[in-house]
Amino acid sequence: MGAPAPSGTQLAREAQAGSRRALARLLTAVESRSPVAEEALRTLYPAAAGAHLVGVTGPPGGGKSTLVAALVGVAREAGRSVAVLAIDPSSPITGGAILGDRIRMQGHAADRDVFIRSMASRGHLGGLAGTTAESAAVLAACGFELVFIETVGTGQSEVEVASIADTTVVVQAPEMGDEVQALKAGLLEVADLVVVNKSDRPGADRTAMQLRAMLTLGEEVPSAGRPRPKHPAVLLASGLTAAGVTELLAALDHIHRSGVESNGPHAARLARARAQVEGILADRVRGTLWSGGERAGTEALMEQVAAHELDPYAAADRLWRRLEA
Amino acid sequence: MTDRPLKVLIAKPGLDGHDRGAKVLARGLRDEGFEVVYTGLRQTPEMVATAALQEDVDVVGLSILSGAHLTLLPRICELLRAEDMGDVLVTAGGIIPADDVPALKEAGVAEVFGPGTPIGEIAAFMREHAQPRS
């Protein structure tokens, strides 16, 4: 078994001093929502405000990992320290996962100022793992200036990353659908920037043109009292050849900077705070209901609902009363 | 925290280009409920050690068919120990002659699984021998 496990405060201190081993162990603790992580986050959270968190999302196979690897390369040329959180889905059946995003990022394996961590979604929906925001906070507190958060391959409505990142890029690939796809609500709406990746492939220009045409259809000034939609720029880039990637990172930094100056990200930070606190609360409720003492009672109620002997609201009421007691 | 899935790195060190075995194992371990980090072909020992460190894996599974196992695998074990990851379980598979196994075990490889080993057997070994950690 070896030496006793270090405390959260101790791990946090070591990670901030540059120990990659301590940082990696801390991220494991965060993923498991362990008491060690809670203790460490109390120390680290105040120091986690400085980094630029960039969300990278889009459909599977669109080239997100390759593009992130190219962005990391550009950021490293500028001497910035970079971390990546790459999320892949957990199996809903076995709980297992294949975390394959590192394959595209192995060019940075020998660089100590790049830290890449894969995360399994562990049943969390929305494109992230339930503990991604806290993991990003740990990385930010340990001095990484730029943290890329790469979601699982997303569909149309997995927009959670936008509530966690400062800046969100939606990655599209050429020939993925006609104009009507770009009219739909959801993923494209949360983009601060849209990238048509694989610009080395045929059809990329046309796709970018269609996206631009559709994304600028909305009124600049919405009706009184209505939330203002974003009007993201559409850029072309290729993760493979690195064409357009320098411009992409510059655009991301520009959006972040102008947001900071106009105090724009306050809403984003509030959304992030809410997502984190609600996530922790939901986890605690779940943990309590399925803990040793409560488990049998919870299971019995679920059986009754499954058999239609009890309606789900009544079951929830009973569980709620038990939590309050 | 008690039922955290086991996290395994499956890597192919060295210069052979055949990763079907590694992919079959990665998929099989996924179905066993493990979280499998797959890093693909042509990994240097340093790349494997860095990935193991950053991912904080419980197990490193190395697939090698090139014949360079006596050079590469001890080097990986050495790098892991240097990173204070000596407690990580290291296993190997692929084409490894039985005569070489004692030397590999001496170097820090816990077990060598030859072709045809059932995935369930490998998973059971990993569950049994991975160090319980926080």
Is the domain of A25 the same as that of A82?
A: no
Mean pLDDT value of segment A93-105 = 91
Q: Examine the domain organization and report whether A188 and A207 are in the same domain.
A: yes
Looking at the structure, tell me whether residues A149 and A53 fall in a common domain: yes
Interface contact flag, A115 B43, Cβ < 8 Å: no
Q: How much is the average pLDDT of A260-278?
A: 76
Helices (H), chain A: 8-16, 20-31, 35-44, 64-77, 132-141, 161-164, 179-183, 204-215, 245-261, 265-289, 292-306, 312-324
A99 contacts on B by Cβ (under 8 Å): 35-38, 55
Rounded mean pLDDT, A252-264:
80
- Using the Cβ of B85 and the Cβ atoms of chain A, whether some distance falls under 8 Å is answered with yes
Asked if A223 and A299 sit in the same domain, the reply is no
Answer whether residue A304 is part of any domain: yes
Are residue A85 and residue A35 in the same domain, yes or no?
Answer: no
Q: Is residue A278 part of a domain?
A: no
pLDDT for the residue A189: 80
Claim to verify: residue A113 and residue A125 sit in the same structural domain: yes
The secondary structure of residue A231, as a DSSP letter, is -
The answer to whether the CB atoms of A2 and B131 lie below 8 A apart is yes
Clarify whether residues A155 and A100 are in a common domain: yes
pLDDT, residue A219, reads 66
CATH code at position A108: 3.40.50.300
* Tokens standing for residue B59: 């197990």
Q: Specify the pLDDT at position A258.
A: 84
Question: For residue A186, what pLDDT band results from cuts at 50, 70 and 90?
Answer: confident
> Is A177 contained in some domain?
yes
Is A117's CB within 8 Å of B54's CB? Answer: yes
Q: What is the pLDDT of residues A120-163, one digit of tens each?
A: 999 888 889 989 999 999 999 999 999 999 999 887 777 888 88
B36 touches chain A (CB under 8 A): yes
Domains along chain B? Answer: 7-129 (3.40.50.280)
pLDDT the model gives residue B4: 85
Q: Are residues A14 and A135 in the same domain?
A: no
Q: What is the pLDDT of residue B87?
A: 93
Q: Which residues of A48-75 are buried (b: 16+ CB within 10 A; e: fewer)?
A: beebbbbbbbbbeebbbbbbbbbbbbbb
**Torsion-angle region of A186 (φ positive above 0: left; ψ -120 to 50: alpha; else: beta):** left
* A6 and A127 fall within a common domain: no
Q: Check the CA dihedral A33-A191-A158-A95 and report its sign.
A: negative
Residues of chain B with pLDDT under 70: 1-2, 133-134
Number of domain units in chain A: 3
> What is the domain range of residue A12?
1-47
A63 and A79 share a domain? yes
CB atoms within 10 A of CB B37: 29
pLDDT of B109 reads: 96
* Maximum average pLDDT range among A62-66, A260-264, B1-5: A62-66
Residue A221 has pLDDT above 90, yes or no: no
Within 10 angstroms of residue A223's Cβ, the number of other Cβ atoms is 6
Cβ within 8 Å, pair B35-A91: no
What pLDDT sits at residue A270?
83
Q: What's the gap in Å between the CA of B99 and the closest CA on chain A?
A: 31
Asked if residue A37 and residue A84 are part of one domain, the reply reads no
Q: How far is CA B100 from the centre of its chain?
A: 17
Residues A219-243 have a mean pLDDT of 82
Q: Do A309 and A169 fall into the same domain? A: no
Calculate the average pLDDT of chain A: 88
Taking an 8 Å cut-off on Cβ atoms, the answer to whether B85 and A21 are in contact is yes
Kindly report, residue by residue over A16-37, the tens digit of the pLDDT. 999 999 999 999 999 998 899 9
Tell me, what's the pLDDT at A1? Answer: 41
Residue A281 forms part of a structural domain: no
Are A194 and A172 within 8 A, CB to CB? Answer: yes
- Position A158 scores a pLDDT of 78
